[in-house]
Structure 1
Amino acid sequence: MSMTKGFVTMVLMLAGALTMAQDIPVNYNLGDNYSDRYKYSTVLTIDSPNNGQTVLVRTYYGGFPLHPKGYFIEIYDEGLNLITDYNYKYAGDHMVDGFVKNGQLYLLELVYHYDRAAYQYVVHHSSLESFSFSETILLSIPSKEVLNPLAVNKYNRNFGNGFSTATYFNDERSAFAITVHFREGREQKYEVYLYGTDLKPQFAYDFSSEVEDKNYAFENIEVSKDLKTLYMMGKAYFKKRRMDATERRFQYELVRFDAQGHKIQEFNDTGRFPESLKPILVDSSLKIVGFYADRKDNRYNGLVYFELDKDSLAISSKKYNAFSQQFMKDKFGREVDTEVKNLIFKDVHLTPDHNILFSAEEYFVSKGEDISSGHTQITERYHYNDIVLAKLNAQGDMEWARNINKTEVTQGDASYASYTAFGKGEDMYFFINSGENPQKIGNERILFKQGYSRNPNMFVIKVNAEGNLSYQKLVDDKEVRLPIMVSRAYIDKSNDNLLFYAKRGTKKQMIRVLVN
């Protein structure tokens, strides 16, 4: 049985004092609360076969220490009812991602084949009508086995382990690129592959000539609609070049690949240090948005915009937009000598007038002590703090930038932390987990604090076309008594809704959020 709730609430305008505002046009539906046999699991993917159903795939764990035991597949109908499930008892150590295409479920895995002494990308595929998995080898690369073959941490790359690979999906999830950096004898090899999500290969490209002097750590991609051209943006680390005190050991580069060759555009203006750059194809033009710093230490000063020719990559326009006083006041109040840093790109939304809404999150990793096992051990803690949102007009001028204060930290599954962003028209919506009530930290500022472990409240924050912010509690712990995986939503832009998965222990539930 589904339930629908609408809301009218008081909102806080962070640009001024507390005021009343119009309703935030967001509703939600709840699915039934189901029992679940797998206490320890993480979501691998959420996707839809475009028939109103939702396919959710989880990796479940067992043993001590915990390790993957298999993949549990659930299919929900449009009313959020669980209509079937399937236990795929395959214990893969490096399952990369999953997706649905043409009524088929595909699971992409990286495996090491000992007999062939090679890493292989293997696709496990099955019809959603009748589960029976088959395997297809997508790619095979001869190599010795290494400790961590997946270059999953793009902020701390290890280029010296002899083999490193990564997979990148475009925003529309119509295609994915695979990069492989490995040794062939004494030579360094770097190869790039582009596939559609129908698994048809678009091209394979040998990029080895460029890794003689640089190591590449790509971060974001864009793919042309015909899937024939791939744009990859990331950091190019210099191997041999001597650096002075004012320079970084890397620069951002955009590489354009197709079956015929590649082109490179460097972003290295003197005294400007770009960060978290994102390529966006808008009609026939190619735009780049991100942050920049005046120094090499990632203390950001504002947003940067470039417009390029999509074929030659020649830069036709660039804008450096410094953060406004309003933004600095949002973030720091009246403090002085403050720094904006550790911002990681999260989402971009194009408005009907081709304005760009660009969001990022303050993310960093710290080390701490854990004594839960009876003895002290050093663990990594992952911090997901403030949200930054900026609006650039179609020419790249910044109209406003705002900061949403929040603080979260986790040592385990990050699905319950961070946020999901959704753009509609000229507005942006952010869905976050927080404690019962945001904390007031000044006359014009509030702070959303971590609360999913005890109080699974999901809040929605709306930012309108003028940059005004409002918020409301959307789902509280009286309605949903399970924490919501707020950063793992399935976004259905064609129907303006999002699907969230809530789980704790042996209980699970689906939530559909509708943006009217």
Structure 2
Amino acid sequence: MKYFYIQTLDKNNFVPNNDEFLVTDFKYKFYYLLQEELFTFVASPDSSKLLVYYDTPRDKSSREQFGFHVFDTELNVLWHEYKELLVNDLKYDIDRHVINNNGDVFLLGKTEKRNKGSEFTIYAFYNRGEGYTEYKVDFPGLITTEGQLSLSQDGKLICCGFYTRNDVDKIAGYWFVSFDTNTHEIVNSYHTEFDIDLITQNLTYKEEEKTRKKDEKGKNVDLANYEIRELIPATDGGYFLLGEQLIVQEKELLPAKHGDDPAIKIFYYYNDIVVLRLNSEGSLVWSQKIAKSQKSLNDGGYYSSYGVTSQNDNLYFVFNDNEKNLDYDGSGKVYTFRANQDDVAVVVKLDTEGAQKRTALFAIDKRDIVLRAKKCKEINSGEMIIYGEKKTTQRFARLIFN
């Protein structure tokens, strides 16, 4: 995969136009490593720049290597970079990518430490590669586990994530740090624990009572198995930090015989969404959990998870749900979504005060496809392209929220 091609789609019907053309090739000295690599695409806030990032495969003897190209709106190459880090760790990962309106690029590197959380480093490329800075994200005494990058309304670089007390599969609170991209200095840092009201939200009465009693006795009741998702800027300079509960369980059906591999089932559970509303300094304004229960088998959560867009600081989440949850009011049982079993696509509106409203996205009698929520993408504020499929039928639609 040495070449990068572009082909446009008709905006009205999403049919590919007959205009495929070569944008650039990747002929640097390590080009042969790109044979198995995928690309990441990120637009600047004003859509004037496009970042195309590629992380090269490597083995135990090689260091972390990556490259990227920055394009303008006509897909002209503005500048590009290839870098080799002084990191030789197969667990090292760069999975967060941000580009600002000037074309500066920011990447978040993550090193997982066994039973000690993760360490984070921000790599900042300025002035079309002429300037370079590394930021170490450090909170002494905290075990940081998850991180995300974003840009504030005034151009500051924001890094935010979760931390734990001692169990890396649980999260006890969140951390926040902002950087001035002109002075390259830390502007503000903050961290705080989750309160018991967030932890017990959406539990049944018995589960909530049991959890609160454990908390009163000083026992660990932290949220378990949450992964960080988006860090969305708000119009007032604040942010929305989103996380989702993901549990993957393997179950052996039959023991292996005569050297054969055992038969294994892998279950995927995509559950509640956590939303933290932060102010410009990183302090918590309010927090909410959106009830969601999705279960699937051996498919990687094909129809699970969610898509999200924001409009005037209202958040709109789309995902597959069980139709019995349409009247869910925050208490009682949350019914589980399984594809083709009482499934319904829903929209949950989370308003500026944190109040929720859940409605069906389509009429119940017109659910001839199943939403692929992971493929639903925001294209403008309050505007989203959604995608659904069933057998050989595929369908796109544009949602506009006012």
Category of TM-score, reference length = shorter chain? 0.7 to 0.9
- Corresponding residue for 2:290? 404
Q: SS of 1:416's equivalent? A: coil
Mapped to 1, the partners of 2:156 and 2:291 lie a distance apart of 34
1:345/1:171 CA distance change after superposition, 3 Å: farther
> 2:99 matched to 1:223?
yes
Q: Is the 8 A contact 1:195 1:202 kept in 2?
A: yes
- 1:427-471 Cα offsets, whole Å, 9 max, x none, are 112111111212999973552521332334111112222222221
Q: Is the 8 A contact 2:117 2:144 kept in 1?
A: no
Shift of 1:183: 6.9
Choose between structure 1 and 2 for higher RCO, CA contacts under 8 A separated by at least 6 residues.
1
Shift of 1:201: 5.3
- Corresponding residue for 2:191? 320
Q: Is the 8 A contact 2:231 2:239 kept in 1?
A: yes
Mapped to 1, the partners of 2:89 and 2:168 lie a distance apart of 23
Q: SS of 2:240's equivalent? A: strand
- Corresponding residue for 1:387? 273
1:315/1:414 CA distance change after superposition, 3 Å: same
Q: SS of 1:328's equivalent? A: helix
> 2:2 matched to 1:121?
yes
Q: Is the 8 A contact 1:168 1:220 kept in 2?
A: no
- Corresponding residue for 1:289? 160
Shift of 1:224: 1.9
Q: How does 1:410-489 map to 2 (within 5 A)?
A: 410=296, 411-412=298-299, 414-438=301-325, 444-489=331-376
> 2:86 matched to 1:204?
no
Q: SS of 1:335's equivalent? A: helix
- Corresponding residue for 2:122? 254
Mapped to 2, the partners of 1:310 and 1:147 lie a distance apart of 31
Q: Is the 8 A contact 1:276 1:290 kept in 2?
A: yes
Q: Give 1 or 2: higher strand fraction.
A: 1
Q: How does 1:103-114 map to 2 (within 5 A)?
A: none
Give the residue type in structure 2 aligned to 1:278: Q
1:148/1:406 CA distance change after superposition, 3 Å: farther
Give the residue type in structure 2 aligned to 1:483: V
Q: How does 1:29-428 map to 2 (within 5 A)?
A: 120-126=1-7, 130-131=17-18, 133=20, 138-140=25-27, 149-150=36-37, 167=40, 169-170=42-43, 174-180=50-56, 182=58, 188=63, 190-196=65-71, 198=75, 200=77, 202-208=79-85, 210-211=86-87, 216-227=92-103, 229-236=104-111, 248=116, 250-258=118-126, 259-282=129-152, 283-295=154-166, 297-332=168-203, 333-336=208-211, 337-369=220-252, 377-410=263-296, 411-412=298-299, 414-428=301-315
- 1:382-414 Cα offsets, whole Å, 9 max, x none, are 331111001001121101111123222332264
Q: Is the 8 A contact 1:280 1:287 kept in 2?
A: yes
Shift of 1:320: 0.7
Q: SS of 1:437's equivalent? A: helix
Mapped to 2, the partners of 1:412 and 1:280 lie a distance apart of 30
Give the residue type in structure 2 aligned to 1:424: Q
Sequence identity percentage: 15
1:442/1:370 CA distance change after superposition, 3 Å: farther
Q: Is the 8 A contact 1:438 1:448 kept in 2?
A: yes
Give the residue type in structure 2 aligned to 1:257: F
- 1:169-200 Cα offsets, whole Å, 9 max, x none, are 3575822222325479x764624323327261
- 1:199-253 Cα offsets, whole Å, 9 max, x none, are 6152213333x225896301211112121x2111131357xxxxxxx97274111
Mapped to 2, the partners of 1:461 and 1:274 lie a distance apart of 30
Q: Is the 8 A contact 1:384 1:418 kept in 2?
A: yes
Mapped to 2, the partners of 1:402 and 1:322 lie a distance apart of 14
Mapped to 2, the partners of 1:200 and 1:428 lie a distance apart of 34
Mapped to 2, the partners of 1:130 and 1:460 lie a distance apart of 32
Of 212-221 and 279-288, more deviation after overlay is shown by 212-221
- Corresponding residue for 2:216? none
Mapped to 1, the partners of 2:121 and 2:137 lie a distance apart of 6
1:286/1:419 CA distance change after superposition, 3 Å: same
Q: Is the 8 A contact 1:434 1:452 kept in 2?
A: no
Q: Is the 8 A contact 1:222 1:230 kept in 2?
A: yes
Q: Is the 8 A contact 2:143 2:166 kept in 1?
A: yes
Instruction: In structure 1, list runs of 5 or more residues that go unmatched.
Output: 1-119, 151-164, 239-245
CA RMSD of aligned residues (A): 3.5
Q: How does 1:10-29 map to 2 (within 5 A)?
A: none
Q: Is the 8 A contact 1:439 1:447 kept in 2?
A: no
- 1:346-402 Cα offsets, whole Å, 9 max, x none, are 22332221221121111232223579xxx9622433331111001001121101111
- 1:248-299 Cα offsets, whole Å, 9 max, x none, are 2741111112413532222232221223322222223222222122326242
- Corresponding residue for 1:37? none
> 2:390 matched to 1:504?
yes
1:436/1:195 CA distance change after superposition, 3 Å: same
Count of paired positions: 369
Q: Give 1 or 2: higher helix fraction.
A: 2
Mapped to 1, the partners of 2:399 and 2:251 lie a distance apart of 36
Q: Is the 8 A contact 1:167 1:176 kept in 2?
A: yes
Q: Is the 8 A contact 2:230 2:241 kept in 1?
A: yes
Shift of 1:324: 1.8
